Structure 1
Amino acid sequence: MAVLTQQQQLHFILIPFMAQGHMLPMIDISRLLALRGVKVTILLTPHNAARVEPVISRAQDSGLSIQVIHLIFPCAEAALPAGCENFDLLPSFDMAAKFVDATNMLRPQVEEVLGELKPSPNCIIADMCFPWATDVALKLHIPHIVFHGMCCFSLVCEHNLRNWDRLEGMESDFYFEVPGLPDKIEMTKAQLANMATPHSKEWGKFMDQIKDAENNAYGILVNSFEELEPEYIKELERTKGKHVWTVGPVSLCNKVEPDKGERGNKASIDVHHCLQWLDSKPTRSVLFVCLGSLSRLPTPQMVELGLALESSKRPFIWVIRHVSTEFGKWLQEEQYEERVKGRGLIIHGWSPQVLILSHPSLGAFITHCGWNSTLEGITSGLPLVTLPLFAEQFSNEKFAVNVIKTGVRVGMEVPVLFGMEETVGVQVSRDEIMLAVEKVFDEGEEGDMRRRRAKMLQEKSWRAVEEGGSSSLNIAKLIQDVAGWREEC
């Protein structure tokens, strides 16, 4: 591994967006850069810094040059509740626009911090949700790199659809072929909500700002790897006309149990108890169910999912992040946890997902198809049962089911937007969920082929991050490109 000398040391600034799916991979990236001799400064608000403090502290104790500088999140100025520093703390989606306004208000603080920082920064890597980072970097005469929390496949889908004039006037439930892709992918207009079809003028304006910032950025950083989606990486480079560095799967930098167990937040279950439970189950038998940090299903759909897990007769871990009053009442009145005790383990809150997925007793993963979770399932060699809810999760489902062919679709058709869950109702019955579970565990030729593909991609993902692997080389190239940026200009 090439490591910079003290005289050559570069200083990278990382600005993660305040949502778990955006923040966690950037924390991993900070460690990957620091391992190669880069000095890294991460800008976080106090609440978000506290979530990742154990992992950062261990990295610092190991000698990595990583520091965290706190930004004061302007809750009051943006008319947000006090302490609402992460997207998963929003009481309702109605406040999403205010949250974005608050992140825009961070710019003066960032400019002040970076103007005084020593040594001076050489590069800003900012989440796509901070389009103003391009102008900040321009003032400092340093490159700005956009971090995308999506795969290249979904980014290409989004790009092609935003530049396609046939969506307007199309019925929301009509399946059409996404234009300009190497694979035949069919979606509906409804499934594009908040991805290529903004739900409001404000959101559309924000998406345009993101696009403009990307056009003016030095390049794009993606948590993926070349062997997973080679055609789509090339297509993204072609359509954007930018450097694209794929440096993932970045979660694989979490090699020890504490880092896996404390990645992102303190687990809501005793990690050792969780591991003991997993140890008691046969190899490749456990179904892991986790629908992300922001996802919320309507109560009737949660009940259907719970009954499907109970009826499956398979051991399972079910992570329940958000419990409505109605669903909490159902759990209690039906004594659900008592009924599945021993075979089912319920985690209320945050789970040590990377640690659980890497356990040999895991056999399959029911996922909302957020990209981090999808990629973590891939690195664990698991077939997926796909239950997308919003944003690019429907295109990630298409990638898992139709492109890499490791996923089984349950049948979600309409997005379940944050704050509008109860207006949707039941989309997939317990029988449909059970059918997908049985299909993913099927011992026949189709199931065996799916597991072989999952295992093959797992092996490729691990090789990508090893010394000399594609992602390892891309991180080195990223550092080299930034070091040579002035000459290029």
Structure 2
Amino acid sequence: MPAASPAARNGEKQVPHAVVMPWPGQGHINPLLHLSKRLAALGFCITFVNTDYSHTRVTQSIQRQQQEEGALAADKMKAPNFNITFVALPDGVPAEETRTCDVPQISRGVVRAAAAFEKLLETLVPPPTCIISDTYVAHTQDAANKFSIPRVSFWTQSAACYAVHAAVAKGVVTLPSGALEANEQLIMNKLIKTVPGLPPLCREDMPGFLQCCDGPDFMFDFCVRPFLRADEAACVVFNSFEVLEGEVIDGLRDQEPGCQFHSIGPVLPAEFFSGSKLSLHQPMNRALAYFPEDFNCLKWLDRWDKGSVLYISFGSLTELTGAELEEFALGLEASGVPLLWVMRPDLLEGGGPGALPEGFEERTKERVMIIAWAPQLHVLAHPAVGAFLTHAGWNSILEGVSQGLPMLGFPYFADQMINCRFIGEVWGNGQAFERQGAGQLTRALVEEKARAIMGASAAGDDDDEARMKEQAALLRQRASQLRDAAREAVSSNTDGSSIKGLHCLLQCLQVLENAESNPHSPQPFSIS
């Protein structure tokens, strides 16, 4: 028999209290933090739970932001309508060890935090009424079942990637074992046509942990197990919208009638959809940043004409080889395109700083700015930015889509290969590099794709100029259509699909008695 919920033990109605737990990586934390802010603005009490290493980085980020905004208290967001408390759980990893890019180690820490999470639920005041957690953090479902409170499974990657995970978990996609190494290229190129709502995929498009199964494997188990119990959650929520991935989500609804699937994205600040620059000192507009953000880049962007700058960021986990960095640098230099380039201190494979080709910075200083980390929402909303060279992580995809920016994808892992396939072949709002091993990336290819995405021709080539401009115009047109669809999805004025999804989410959390019949309930994603 399930234990009584902490809320039920009080025997009285209370303010809804959501315990939120992400998988502890920046790209997973940010969408849940944005959602938490929205729910807090609706009157929710939020306890935001992280493993201790990520908790430290989160609070450091908040401290930096509060210093910039003249705020106080690092462990509490004291802004209008915010009631968010940040809590750390031990992950069992020595404090001196870094976890930044070690996905298996981070994931093991999540599993080790299970007992501490249940203990936390027993001690929180006010008692929790619901759990919202990353799909991968499956132990939170055990806690929800134990205390008889609803749990929302929040998927932070593309719905297409969710569908691939579900297909592998349920045996719809069969995996090679043992023989992968002997016939690797043949197996990796074999088309998979059995995932509903998705175009045919090569196995190499799939997340790396799902490409083969050869005996017991922690990461394979960690990635697949949550999808075998998806129907235990009150609902599964996607940070996506129907125009972007409706066919995929409908395929999931058909395949898994026992699950509720809702799209509520893009889960981003309302002002991000306004078509103007973001306010620098509005807490709702700030994203978590593991690295200090360089706001000087916004002043640098002010110097440039509308749509003239290519923004480059490979996210918080991608690692480049030294050869890849060199080819990117020399190809981008040859393109002649103005660049704002984010180069993390640990961008190189093995966690080292990037070493640019000799003389690169001097030769390009008039048109290139290189920074360690950018306030990305503010950069993408800046009118000078004309396109986005990205690792194709899902947050970056949604942020670029929401600003109508053509995208050039260079995938690294996880859902990024699938996302790049959609950019080039399904959505038509950009192009992608194939990342298939050493020698595949050349400076000539980088130059060609940078020119194409920006509509910039080689000097003196009139035919090339006309072709480039036409191709770039088509990409911009499609990108603008997706931007408009994203804005419509989150607009209360048009009863957008993601507003409806949010009502269903609140209903699953037992906040609304009937979300469908309550058009006047608060609209946290409405455009101001």
Using the size of structure 2 for normalisation, the TM-score is 0.79
Q: Could you tell me whether the CA contact under 8 Å between 1:384 and 1:440 is conserved in 2?
A: yes
Structure 1, unmatched stretches of 5+, are 1-5, 414-423
Q: Name which of 229, 243, 250 aligns with 1:234.
A: 250
CA distance in 2, matches of 1:269, 1:230: 34
User: % of aligned pairs identical?
Assistant: 25
Question: Which of 38-47 and 372-381 deviates more?
Answer: 38-47
Q: Name which of 407, 413, 437 aligns with 2:430.
A: 407
SS in 1 for 2:452: helix
Pairwise CA distance, 1:133:
0.6
Instruction: Give the 5 Å matches for 1:268-347.
Output: 268=292, 270-271=294-295, 273-321=296-344, 322-324=346-348, 330-331=355-356, 334-347=358-371
Pairwise CA distance, 1:105:
2.0
Instruction: Give the 5 Å matches for 1:449-460.
Output: 449-460=474-485
Q: Where does residue 472 of structure 2 map in the other structure?
A: 447
1:222 aligns with 2:222: no
Query: 1:74-120 deviations in whole A, cap 9, x for unaligned?
Result: 3xx44x45264xx42x5xx4xx4333222222222221221122322
Query: 1:297-332 deviations in whole A, cap 9, x for unaligned?
Result: 11011100011111110101111112449985843x
Pairwise CA distance, 1:269:
5.1
Query: 1:147-186 deviations in whole A, cap 9, x for unaligned?
Result: 1111112222333355245542672442414324445333
1:106 aligns with 2:126: no
Q: Where does residue 71 of structure 1 map in the other structure?
A: 88
1:193 aligns with 2:208: yes
Pairwise CA distance, 1:351:
1.6
Partner AA of 1:151 in structure 2: S
Q: Where does residue 419 of structure 1 map in the other structure?
A: none
Q: Could you tell me whether the CA contact under 8 Å between 1:13 and 1:124 is conserved in 2?
A: yes
Q: Where does residue 288 of structure 2 map in the other structure?
A: 264
CA distance in 1, matches of 2:29, 2:85: 13
Q: Could you tell me whether the CA contact under 8 Å between 1:161 and 1:196 is conserved in 2?
A: no
Partner AA of 1:144 in structure 2: R
Q: Name which of 237, 245, 251 aligns with 2:268.
A: 251
Q: Where does residue 225 of structure 2 map in the other structure?
A: 209
CA distance in 1, matches of 2:204, 2:223: 17
Instruction: Give the 5 Å matches for 1:153-172.
Output: 153-162=160-169, 163-164=171-172, 167-168=175-176, 171-172=186-187
CA distance in 2, matches of 1:342, 1:268: 24
CA distance in 2, matches of 1:451, 1:469: 23
Query: 1:176-198 deviations in whole A, cap 9, x for unaligned?
Result: 14324445333234754224545
Q: Where does residue 147 of structure 2 map in the other structure?
A: 140
Q: Where does residue 176 of structure 1 map in the other structure?
A: 191
CA distance in 2, matches of 1:98, 1:225: 32
Q: Could you tell me whether the CA contact under 8 Å between 1:147 and 1:222 is conserved in 2?
A: yes
Q: Where does residue 418 of structure 1 map in the other structure?
A: none
CA distance in 2, matches of 1:246, 1:65: 24
1:147/1:183 Cα in 2 relative to 1: closer, same or farther (>3 Å)? Answer: closer
Q: Where does residue 48 of structure 2 map in the other structure?
A: 42
Q: Could you tell me whether the CA contact under 8 Å between 2:166 and 2:224 is conserved in 1?
A: no
Q: Could you tell me whether the CA contact under 8 Å between 2:203 and 2:211 is conserved in 1?
A: no
CA distance in 1, matches of 2:392, 2:175: 24
Pairwise CA distance, 1:484:
6.7
CA distance in 1, matches of 2:482, 2:231: 32
Q: Name which of 399, 406, 429 aligns with 2:442.
A: 429
Question: Which of 158-167 and 33-42 deviates more?
Answer: 158-167
Question: Which of 144-153 and 98-107 deviates more?
Answer: 98-107
CA distance in 1, matches of 2:14, 2:483: 35
Using the size of structure 1 for normalisation, the TM-score is 0.85
Q: Name which of 86, 106, 122 aligns with 1:115.
A: 122
Partner AA of 1:82 in structure 2: E
Question: Which of 135-144 and 53-62 deviates more?
Answer: 53-62
Question: Which of 281-290 and 466-475 deviates more?
Answer: 466-475
Q: Where does residue 525 of structure 2 map in the other structure?
A: none
SS in 1 for 2:311: strand
1:329/1:366 Cα in 2 relative to 1: closer, same or farther (>3 Å)? Answer: closer
Pairwise CA distance, 1:336:
2.1
Q: Where does residue 37 of structure 2 map in the other structure?
A: 31
1:104/1:158 Cα in 2 relative to 1: closer, same or farther (>3 Å)? Answer: closer
Question: Which of 29-38 and 246-255 deviates more?
Answer: 246-255
Q: Could you tell me whether the CA contact under 8 Å between 2:158 and 2:394 is conserved in 1?
A: yes
Q: Could you tell me whether the CA contact under 8 Å between 2:160 and 2:198 is conserved in 1?
A: no
Partner AA of 1:145 in structure 2: V
Q: Where does residue 466 of structure 1 map in the other structure?
A: 491
CA distance in 1, matches of 2:224, 2:349: 38
Q: Where does residue 62 of structure 2 map in the other structure?
A: 53
Q: Name which of 1, 12, 23 aligns with 2:18.
A: 12
Q: Where does residue 502 of structure 2 map in the other structure?
A: 475
CA distance in 2, matches of 1:486, 1:282: 51
How many positions carry a matched residue from both structures? Answer: 459
SS in 2 for 1:82: coil
CA distance in 2, matches of 1:144, 1:330: 46
SS in 1 for 2:106: helix
Question: Which of 358-367 and 169-178 deviates more?
Answer: 169-178
Partner AA of 1:219 in structure 2: C
Query: 1:389-438 deviations in whole A, cap 9, x for unaligned?
Result: 1111101111111111112122223xxxxxxxxxx534210111111122
Partner AA of 2:243 in structure 1: E
CA distance in 2, matches of 1:369, 1:323: 16
Partner AA of 2:474 in structure 1: M
CA distance in 2, matches of 1:455, 1:308: 27
Question: Which of 283-292 and 228-237 deviates more?
Answer: 228-237
CA distance in 1, matches of 2:30, 2:429: 24
Pairwise CA distance, 1:70:
1.9
Question: Which of 115-124 and 287-296 deviates more?
Answer: 115-124
Pairwise CA distance, 1:225:
1.2
Pairwise CA distance, 1:252:
3.1
Partner AA of 1:207 in structure 2: C
